[in-house]
Chain A
Amino acid sequence: MTSIKDIPLSDLDPSVQTRFQSGEHFEVFDRLRAEAPVYFHETTQYGPFWSISKYKDIIEVEANPKVFSSDAAYGGIWIKEQPKDTIRKSFMTADQPEHDQQRKVVNPIVSPSNLNDMEQKVRDIVTLVLDDLPLNEEIDWVERVSVEVTGRVLCELMDFPVEERMDLTTWSDIVNTDVDAGTEITDEYVKLEKLKPMIIKFKELFAERTGMPPQNDLISMLAHSQETANMEPQQFVGMLVLLMVGGNDTTRNSISGGLDALNKFPEEYKKLRENPELVESMVPEIIRWVTPVAHMRRTALEDIEFHGQQIKKGDKVIMWYCSGNRDPEVIEDPYTFKIDRKNPRQHVSFGFGIHRCLGNRMAELQLRVLWEEILKRGWVIETTGEPERRFSNFVVGIDSLKAIIRKPE
């Protein structure tokens, strides 16, 4: 096989999913940042698109939503063009002013008082999950911890029946399946078909909440707001999928990826055990390190000169967060996992601008409480193999990570 450094840039497709599994994608983006940070790929599996690979350029695109649109009408946030009738619409795939109006509906979920209430609930959930784990025996960390914690927290946020939590994980995984991965989900229509039980369930819950007084969960917020009480079907699916997937797979993979990182950097793990207060700065570092969402797409609504390049109206623009998070111009020693960085929140994992992740504090809260509770128990968690990574260039997924929990005397 030719190595990445020998491939001409014009033949290099940064979206190749298998490289995201092997880690070779980092080499691709190192080259793009160094040689052509704003680059037009003419031929890729998705047709032509621009790659934005530097930290600061990503923020510049994000800060200009008037030119760089997220609207579903132009292709939304997906690198692959979607059939129009399967597009999931939400405020994530809307521009101003619709975006702002709809985002405000669910904003209270991250109010300081709600985050405060959530902390105890998350701690109870984490305690329940950890209490159930065996010591000195190989377990799958993803299945036993990452999925359990995030699934149960999501049930809290949506007031979804906790016994049915595995459905949330299943649906979230269906949504995030790459249609080119060689699974039975071969296109968006199959996906939508498989999501039918989800739609039925959420319709039921929506109707139930409509008939009840307003409460503090996401479904109730949508049901009781003028903006969202009567959503058309594609928007109904879009909104619920956004709230379900946004908070599920991403946080799950940060939990798994964090354990993997600590095991790959044993000095850091040791430092953490000796200084548990470092959890605070470790959490954002985990989120940088993992970069759970590898990219987002925008579409140019007008011709614009961008760092010397001519982006044309209608062009597809991909912001590679996974690259921004390894940009040495902004992040010192970016390929080292360091739990005590001075400015750990300096990363692009949550995006920026009007679409900046709504759940960033909620995600951090889950990771922080989980690691606080693990450290309190005096556990050392050793991974026993490499994570099994998902075929995807979008959601950086870890499907399995084997580990053994030990408790040194």
Chain B
Amino acid sequence: MAKIIFVDHDGTKHEVEASVGSNVMQAAVDNNIEGIDGDCGGMCACATCHVTVDPEWFAKTGARSENEESMLTFLPEIAETARLGCQIEITDELDGLVVHLPIEQF
């Protein structure tokens, strides 16, 4: 298990436990985190799982794929550390990961 911390746009923190091998979108959906819909079920095809990774953690989340890059660029506003939650696989290394939820997803 790894701990993932979701931070709302107003600063509220939600801590959840997620199993290694799952992904950040799934962890949010399983725990009813508002702001992450995951409409496409994790196929990198809807961008409703957009998160901003805390800069300290960004490098550890891996690289964006080309499709992910495209999906992200169609979002109205993205930070440099934007990722799609479903494309971040949860590993032991990510225990304690902090991601921020964009306001437009509420």
Contacts and interface: CB of A to CB of B under 8 A. Distances in A.
Interface string B43-87: 111111000000000000000001100110110110000000000
A74 B62 CA distance: 35
Interface in A51-68: 56, 59-60, 62-63, 65
Interface stretch (A17-25, A155-163, A311-319, A346-354): A346-354
Interface stretch (A26-34, A100-108, A176-184, A374-382): A100-108
A147 B44 CA distance: 35
A345 B70 CA distance: 22
Contacts of B70: 96, 100, 354
A284 to B, nearest CB: 10
A346 B67 contact: no
Nearest to A116: B104
A111 B46 contact: no
A112 B9 CA distance: 14
A353 B37 contact: no
A352 B46 contact: yes
A264 interface: no
A107 B76 contact: yes
A65 B41 CA distance: 17
B40 interface: yes
A130 interface: no
Contacts of A107: 74, 76
A352 B103 contact: no
A229 interface: no
Which size class do A's interface residues fall under?
20 to 34
Contacts of B77: 111-112
Contacts of B92: none
A405 interface: no
B76 A63 contact: no
A5 interface: no
Contacts of A356: 45-47, 74
Nearest to A99: B70
B34 interface: no
A63 B103 contact: no
B43 A352 contact: yes
Contacts of B40: 59, 63, 352-353
B39 interface: yes
B76 A60 contact: no
A104 B74 contact: yes
Interface in A352-391: 352-354, 356, 358
B40 to A, nearest CB: 5
A110 interface: yes
B37 A104 contact: no
Contact of A103 (B41, B66, B74): B74
Contact of A59 (B43, B47, B76, B103): B43
Nearest to A361: B104
Interface string A53-91: 000100110110100000000000000000000000000
A63 B67 CA distance: 8
Contacts of B71: 353-354
B103 A354 contact: no
Contacts of A59: 40-41, 43, 45
A51 B46 CA distance: 22
Contact of A112 (B37, B74, B76): B76
B104 A63 contact: no
A373 to B, nearest CB: 23
Contacts of B45: 59, 62-63, 352-353, 356
20 contacts: A56-B41, A59-B41, A59-B43, A59-B45, A63-B40, A65-B67, A100-B70, A100-B74, A107-B74, A107-B76, A108-B76, A112-B77, A345-B39, A352-B43, A352-B46, A353-B43, A353-B67, A354-B70, A356-B47, A356-B74
Nearest 3 pairs of A and B residues by beta carbon? A352-B45, A111-B76, A63-B45
